[in-house]
Chain A
Amino acid sequence: MPVLHKILWGLNITLEIGVPFLMVWKKQHRAFPAVFAYLVLNLSQAAAIYVAYRWKGYVSWPAFWTYWISQAIVVVARWAAVCELCLVILGQFKGIWALTWRVLALIGGGSLLFAVGLGGHDFLKLVTTFDLGLEMSMAMVLVVFFSFARYYKIAIQNPLRSMGIAFCLYSLFRALNDSVLQIFLRRYTATWSLVDEVTYLATLILIGSATYVLGSEASRKVVLLPRAAYSELAPQISNRLQLLNMRLDEILRSKQAGKT
Chain B
Amino acid sequence: MSLLLILIGILVAGSLGLLLWAAGHGSASPKQQGINSLVPDLNCEHVTNLSQIRQALDAKDLEYISGKLPSSKTRRFRKERSQVVLKYLRGLKEDFDRLIDTAQIVASLSPEVEAKEEWKRFKLAARFRLNYEMARIKFTVGSPAFPKLENLANILTSLEMDLERVMTEITLSGLTPGESGSAQG
Q: Do A and B come from one complex?
A: yes
Residues of A within 8 A of B (CB): 31-32, 88-89, 91-96, 98-99, 102, 115, 118-119, 132, 136, 139-140, 142-143, 146-147, 149-158, 160-161, 164-165, 168-169, 172-173, 175-176, 179-180, 182-183, 214, 217, 219-227, 229-230, 232-238, 240-245, 247-252, 254, 256-260
B181 partner residues in chain A, CB cutoff 8 A: 155, 220, 222
* Contact A176 B9, beta carbon cutoff 8 Å: yes
CB pair B109 A225 closer than 8 Å: yes
Inter-subunit contact A247/B7 (CB<8 Å)? no
Interface code B139-159, partner A: CB below 8 Å = 1, 0 otherwise? 101111100110110011011
Give the residue of A139, A155, A172, A260 whose beta carbon is less than 8 angstroms from that of B143. Answer: A260
Bound CA–CA A158/B179 (angstroms): 19
Please state if A95 and B110 are interface contacts (CB–CB under 8 Å). Answer: yes
Distance between B136 CB and nearest chain A CB, rounded to angstroms: 10
Distance in angstroms between the alpha carbons of A84 and B114 in the assembled complex: 24
Is the contact region of chain A dominated by helix, strand, or loop, or is it mixed?
helix
B18 at the interface (CB under 8 A from A): yes
Q: Is the CB of A179 within 8 A of B8?
A: yes
Is B47 on the interface with A (CB-CB < 8 A)? no
Q: How far is the CB of B25 from chain A (nearest CB, A)?
A: 7
Inter-subunit contact B185/A31 (CB<8 Å) = yes
Q: List 10 A-B contacts (CB under 8 A).
A: A96-B107, A118-B4, A169-B19, A176-B9, A222-B109, A224-B109, A225-B106, A234-B106, A237-B99, A258-B139
Q: Are B148 and A257 in contact, with the CB atoms below 8 A?
A: yes
Top 5 nearest A-B pairs (CB, nearest first) are A223-B177, A256-B145, A230-B110, A146-B22, A248-B131
A160 to chain B, nearest CB (A): 6
A139-B12, A247-B148 given; name 16 further pairs at CB < 8 Å.
Answer: A96-B108, A98-B112, A115-B8, A150-B25, A156-B23, A156-B182, A168-B15, A182-B5, A214-B184, A219-B185, A233-B106, A233-B166, A235-B117, A251-B148, A252-B131, A256-B144
Of residues 49 through 75 on chain B, the ones whose CB sits less than 8 Å from some CB of chain A are 62
- In the complex, how many angstroms separate the beta carbon of A55 from the nearest chain B beta carbon? 34
CB distance A119 to B103 under 8 Å?
A: no
Q: In whole angstroms, what is the CA distance A229 to B113 when docked?
A: 11
Residues of A within 8 A of B114 (CB): 234
A241 touching B110 by the CB < 8 A rule?
no
Given contacts A153-B31, A156-B182, A244 and B148 within 8 Å (CB-CB): no
